[in-house]
Chain A
Amino acid sequence: MSNIIDLSLSELVSNIKKKKISSNEVTSAYVERSKKSKNLNSYNEEVFDSALKKAKEFDSKPDFNKKLSGVPIAVKDLFCTKNVKTTASSKILSNFIPSYESTVTQNLWNDGAILLGKLNCDEFAMGSSNETSYFGNVVSPIDKDLVPGGSSGGSASALAAKLTPATIGTDTGGSIRQPASFTGTVGLKPTYGSCSRYGIVAFASSLDQAGPMTRNVKDSALLLEVMSTFDNKDSTSVDFKRPIYSKDLSKDIKGKKIGVPKEYRVDGMSEEIDKLWEDGKNYLKDCGAKIIDVTLPHTKFALPTYYIVAPAEASSNLARYDGVKYGFRTKGDNLIDMYEKTRSEGFGDEVKRRIMIGTYVLSSGYYDAYYLKAQKVRRLIKNDFNNVFQKVDAILTPSTPSSAFKIGDKSNDPVSMYLNDIFTVPVNLAGLPGISIPAGLDKKGYPLGLQIIGKPFEEQNILNIAYSMEDKINFKFNIKDWWMNE
């Protein structure tokens, strides 16, 4: 059998169930490797001792009827974990220990998975490069100068470096799909309402969704199937019949109609991305799908809309961090002074910037001009997708306008950083499912991804399309262990 860390999530589960390897062997392998990988800065909090203890407990009384029996998993530090520090990579939550568990992580543990630790991310998931974290930037295992993407950058880095067999992230404007694309991994953002938001540190409540980040499409289907449940604790959770995604996974996509939106061919897009997209269409044709040109006319307005809606919701969600209930406080002369000093010291620059944008667009006199306007444009963007989905079953686009950039390259110019999410943000605004799969390398040898967007609650369809494309693409990418300490 090959090395434990080279096995996919599905292979691990199957080997543990066949008693070919023990949970302890698997967990020990990941703990050892994670301990030697501090240079990547992908962990905020490690719970290795407790993971090893749970693995031994599993082995002494194994339950092989679970979907993730005895498999260790590290998760983004935006999911609340009971009695384990949860910081959202912010100073203001740096002492916060939740007394409750997020529904999505609880689903993982209920199905036999074991928590390895909490992974670094952009502060409150606000960022596209994992450079806004209070605990420092995360390094991509592909190159020491490279960002892993964001905001689920610690998740992407740990996954690509094989510090965890799979992981989960959250995606508000591309925070699962963009880092997956940057690191040659698979990232899926489910339909809004598919995965419960209960216990996830809130950023923009009408956009946030949790989703799986994995090494291949089959693992993505398996993890989604565990994560996605109807939950009374989330008022926007949708009660629909959830398929058993991994069981129903199929490479038969003959006759599927795939839309290609001309508006996604943006100014200044590199020839490499264009070629990648062309290749993607050809792979789909090889699988028997039909390519159809479609139009999403309001695409260019998606990002400016997002940068009104998301900060507005964030300014409201982050009002709760006032120095009273979440562990961190800066002393002040009076109550208001304490609030202002706590928030000034506790939040980083990007978070403050977004709270200020949000406060401004919601403030008296500007609400109609900005917030209401953005909500109307959001309707137009959603209508664009509705129209296109009358004619096609799914949409194919690049995941990002470029490959991963260097640390520090975009951190001084907020707008150029925001433009990273140009292909992913419209999907969140419309509440649709989208998956990014690795599809090729650019001239520098860095991974590039393709995104498949589906109709609401048709995750099975985009998973199947991704599954057949994965087969044709046959993406091979070996990362050397340059960062490891002995």
Chain B
Amino acid sequence: MTIDLKTVKHISKLSRISLDEEKAKKLETDLNSIFKWIEQLNELKTENIEPLNSIAETKLRLRKDEIKSKNIREEILKNSPDGNKDFFVVPKVVE
């Protein structure tokens, strides 16, 4: 199976990564060579195999829903790109 330029642009949209034409073409070549190599998995019959989601295969532990760190707003907002001290500000979403 091959991945065409249209698919590359669709994946870039899903990934929220903008691509110019040149980068998209380069990725088309790269992805095709990678997936051609990945296709060898089709040599294996796996109908009756249970998928392995997690190597730990343990049940997740439950805990009380308690606040452990308090008053960390300032610390967290220090990494806000636009320097607002009260909120993470994003471009206008609703008109």
Contacts and interface: CB of A to CB of B under 8 A. Distances in A.
Contact of B79 (A327, A332, A357): A327
Nearest to B49: A376
A329 to B, nearest CB: 4
A193 B56 contact: yes
A328 B63 contact: no
Given A324-B88, A370-B38, A375 B53 contact: yes
Interface string A348-380: 000011011101100100000010111111111
Contact of B50 (A347, A374, A379): A379
A334 B43 CA distance: 46
A95 B79 contact: yes
A430 B15 contact: no
Contact of B52 (A319, A337, A375): A375
A307 B34 contact: yes
Interface residues of A, number: 65
A382 B55 contact: yes
B11 A359 contact: yes
Contact of B46 (A334, A335, A357, A380): A380
Nearest to B54: A206
User: Mostly helix, strand, loop or mixed at chain A's interface?
Assistant: helix
Size bracket of the B interface: 35 or more
A329 B81 contact: yes
Interface in B28-58: 30-31, 33-34, 37-44, 46, 49-56, 58
A341 B14 contact: no
A304 B33 CA distance: 12
A231 to B, nearest CB: 11
B12 interface: yes
A184 interface: no
Interface stretch (A1-9, A21-29, A143-151, A232-240): A232-240
A359 B27 CA distance: 14
Interface string B72-89: 100110111110000010
A325 B76 CA distance: 8
B12 to A, nearest CB: 7
B59 to A, nearest CB: 10
Contact of B17 (A235, A335, A356, A373): A356
Contacts of A193: 55-56
A120 to B, nearest CB: 21
A203 interface: no
Given A329-B81, A414-B33, A236 B56 contact: yes
B41 A374 contact: yes
A225 B72 CA distance: 32
B23 to A, nearest CB: 8
B51 A99 contact: no
A324 B90 contact: yes
A415 B34 contact: yes
B49 A415 contact: no
B67 interface: no
Interface in A162-215: 192-193, 206
A379 B54 contact: no
Contacts of A377: 41, 44, 46, 49
B91 to A, nearest CB: 5
Contacts of B88: 324-325
A236 B54 contact: yes
Contact of A414 (B18, B34, B54, B58): B34
Nearest to A318: B15
Contact of B63 (A96, A232, A380): A232
Contact of B44 (A192, A301, A415, A431): A301
Given A236-B56, A325-B80, A373-B41, A356 B16 contact: no
A210 to B, nearest CB: 16
A42 B16 CA distance: 32
A308 interface: yes
A132 interface: no
9 contacts: A192-B55, A236-B56, A308-B41, A324-B81, A325-B88, A356-B15, A356-B31, A359-B15, A430-B55
Interface of A: 95-97, 99, 192-193, 206, 232, 235-236, 238, 298, 300-301, 304-305, 307-308, 315, 319, 322-329, 332-341, 343-344, 347, 352-353, 355-357, 359-360, 363, 370, 372-380, 382, 414-415, 429-431
